[in-house]
Amino acid sequence: MYASETGHDEAFPIVTPRGCSVSFPTQGTIVTYVSTLFYDWYTQNALDGLTIDFNPDFIQPSSSCSSTTAQTNPWWRVDLRYIYRVSRVVITNRLDCCPEQIDGAEIRIGNSLENNGNNNPICAVISTIPSGATANFSCGGIEGRYVIVHIPGDVKTLSLCEAEVYGHLIGKLML
């Protein structure tokens, strides 16, 4: 669905919790990747719609969060499979320990996988997100197929519990 078809110009969800969306094409599926995997903290957990808000007795976030091991320049990436003009990205941080594992992360959007996508334009830099909180980042219509969350530096761990991407489909052909 395009904004022109609805009579207004608001961004539609591309990737929301549970991987569902209004504007995501029905052919193909979104695919997530991570630089390294920490035990069972799978990449797709950041798109499953399960946050710790739903379970007050929640102790271990591995079933609803994604995390890398400690490494140089860790990253998490979603392949939207088509090109979108991204208006905003929403990130939810973990609630248990270590909320600083998102601090300094760059949100990048583009069509390149060179350098693991870390050469794409920066939408925002996450200075910090409090434990269990959700933050919105305006991307100003950056165009791309890939959304990458990347922390530059040595011995870094990247954790995120939910990611949402909003924007408009602009290219039906995959790159």
**Residue 115: helix, strand or coil by DSSP?**
helix
Question: How do residues 82-127 score in pLDDT, each as one tens digit?
Answer: 999 999 999 989 887 889 999 999 999 999 999 999 999 999 999 9
Q: How far apart are the first and last CA of the chain?
A: 20
Structural domain for 131, as ranges: 3-171
> pTM of the prediction?
0.74
Question: How do residues 132-144 score in pLDDT, each as one tens digit?
Answer: 899 999 999 999 9
Partners of residue 146 on adjacent β-strands: 79, 110
In the chain, how many domains are there?
A: 1
The CATH number assigned to the domain holding 11 equals: 2.60.120.260
In this structure, of 15-24, 37-46, 95-104, 133-142, the range with the lowest mean pLDDT score is 15-24
